[in-house]
Chains A and B, each alone.
Chain A
Amino acid sequence: MTEFLQQLVNGLAQGGIYALIALGYTMIYGVLRFINFAHGDIFMLGAFAGFYLAPATLKLFGAGPSYAGAALVLLGAMALCALIGIVIERLCYRPLRDRPRITALITAIGVSLLLENGGQLLFGADPKSFPDLIVDRALDLPAGWGPLSALTITLSQVLVLGVTLLLLVALRHVVNRTRTGLAMRALSLNPTAAQLAGVNLDQVIMFTFGLGSALAGAAGVLISIQQPSIDPLMGISAGLKAFIAAVLGGIGNLPGAVLGGVLIGLLEALVVGYLSPTYRDPIVFAVLILILIFRPAGLLGTVQKEKV
C-alpha cells in the first residue's frame, strides 16, 4: 500500500511538470492549429535560465538557498522564456501564417534543432548541476496517518506541486476571467469572427506564445529543483511526453492538458515502480498510438461541429 502511494506521489509531481508543458502545446495549437515542436526546448531553456540566474539572484538574499531567491529565479526564468517564445513566433512562425500548416510544422522542427544544438554550443553538451534554490529535506509525516506515515515526501516535492497548482489556478483565471483570455478562446474557435469583433490576431497570438512559454520555463526550473542534472537535450523527452499528454487530454483543451499530464506522470511512475524503467517510454508511446486509434479527439476533446 505504502509502495503504491509512494508511486502516486512521485507520479503526481512529474505529472504536474508535464501538465505545465502540455498547456503550452495545447494553447498554441488552439490559436494557430499547429504543434510547436520547439516547445520542449523552451522548457530546457527555462532550466538553463534558472541555472544562470540563480547565483546572482540568491546572493541578493544572503549567500545560500532562500525562498525569496527561488521565487525570483522562477519568475526570471518565466519572463525570459516568455520573451524567447514571443521572438520565435515573430521571426519564425508569423511570416508563415498564411502558408500550409506543414510549412510551420517543419519550421518548428527546425527551430527545435536550432535550440538544441545552439544550447550545446552555448552551454556545453555536458550535464550541469542545478544549484540548490531551497534546502531540501524529507518531511516527517505524523505517525497517525496509517500507511501514509511511511511515505517519503520531500519539501521540494510539496513546493513544486504547490507552485504548479498555483500556476494552474492563475492560468485558469487568465483564460476564463480576463478580456485577453476570452479573445484567446474566441480566436481558437473562429479567427474570422474574432477579427470581426475587433481582436488583433497578432497581439493575441503573441500573448499566447508568451504565456505558454512562461509555463514551460517554470516547468524547467521546477523539474531542476527535484532532478538537478540539466543538459541541452533535456527538452526532447519531456517535450514529447507533454505532447502526448496534450493529445491524451484532447489537443486544444486546457483542462485536458492538465489531466493528460497528470495521467502520463502517474502511468510512468507506476510502470517504473512495478515493471521496469525500461518499459516506461514504450508504454507511454503505446498510449499515444492507442488514443490516436480509438479516441483521436482525446479524453476531454470534442469533435467540433458548427450548425449551418
Chain B
Amino acid sequence: MLSVSDLHVSYGAITALNGITFRVEAGAIVTLIGSNGAGKTTALRTISGLLRARSGQVSFLGEDLSALPAHRIVGRGLCHVPEGRMIFSNLTVEENLAMGAYLQRDAALKARNLAFVFNLFPRLKERLKQTGGTLSGGEQQMLAIGRAIMGQPKFLMLDEPSLGIAPRLISTIFEKIVEINRDHGITILLVEQNAKLALEVSSYGYVLETGRIVLEGPSQDLRANPRLKATYLGG
C-alpha cells in the first residue's frame, strides 16, 4: 500500500533521514520504532507532505506522492495523527471533528464516520461542546485519532500515541488502534518509542537509528531479538 524507498531528508545542514526504505502492506499494522531523534517524526512528516525529501520516493497505492502538497495527500486517504496531537485548542470537540471531515462532502458518510468515532471513544461524545484545550492528554489523543478517522482514511499514520498519557489510558488507546485496523480494515503505520507495546500490536516492525533502518522483521521475531531487548525493551 505504502512504499518508501531510499528517502533522504535534511533540515538545512542537518541530515535527519539517510536513505530509508520500508513498505506497509494493505491491512497490516506496521511499526517504526526508534529512540529520541532517530528520525521517526521526520519520516511521517515527509510521507504526509509537510516536508520535502532531498531524494527518494514515497509511493501510495501506486501513486508517487513526492510532488503533492500535504492538503492533497489527505484526500488520497492517507491521514496523519501528528506527534503532540495538535488539537485545535480553542475549537470545540465537535469543531475539531468537523475539521477532520473538511474534505468530506457526503453528509451520510460524515454521519457514519462520526458514529464510528463515538463508538470507539464514547467520551468524546460527552465532551462535544468542550474546547479541545480543556481535554486531558488521553482525551486529546482520542480526539486526534477521531479527527483523522473523520477524514475517511485508508491508511493511518500515528506518531507516538502513547506520549504523555496516563498509563491506564495507553492500553485503551492501543486496543482502539487494533480495533480500527481489525474491524474497519484501515492500514496503520505506528511510530513509537514504546517498543514493547508497539511490537505487541503490530505484525511487522522496522527499527530506526539516527536516520537509518538498522533492523526489520516480523514483530514477534523482533520481540525476541537480543539486541533490541537490550536497547529498547528494557533488558
Contacts and interface: CB of A to CB of B under 8 A. Distances in A.
Interface of A: 179, 182-183, 185-186, 189-190, 192-201, 304-308
A193 B86 contact: yes
B50 A198 contact: no
Q: How large is the interface on B (under 10, 10 to 19, 20 to 34, 35 or more residues)?
A: 20 to 34
B86 to A, nearest CB: 4
9 contacts: A182-B95, A186-B88, A189-B90, A194-B99, A196-B70, A196-B82, A197-B103, A307-B133, A308-B137
Secondary structure class of chain A's binding surface, majority of residues: helix
B37 interface: no
A262 to B, nearest CB: 23
Given A179-B102, A198-B103, A306-B133, A192 B74 contact: no
B91 A186 contact: yes
B89 interface: yes
Contact of A182 (B50, B99, B133): B99
Given A192-B50, A193-B88, A197-B147, A186 B99 contact: yes
**Which 10 A-B pairs rank lowest in CB-CB distance, beginning with the nearest?**
A193-B86, A198-B103, A198-B74, A195-B70, A189-B88, A198-B102, A197-B102, A200-B71, A197-B99, A186-B99
B100 interface: yes
A185 B92 CA distance: 11
Nearest to A204: B71
Interface of B: 48-50, 69-71, 74-75, 79-80, 82, 84, 86-91, 95, 98-100, 102-103, 133, 135-137, 140, 147-148, 151, 164
A306 B134 CA distance: 10
A196 B156 CA distance: 12
B75 A198 contact: yes
A156 B233 CA distance: 76
B74 A306 contact: no
A195 B79 CA distance: 11
Contacts of A186: 88, 91, 95, 99
A198 B151 contact: yes
B140 A189 contact: no
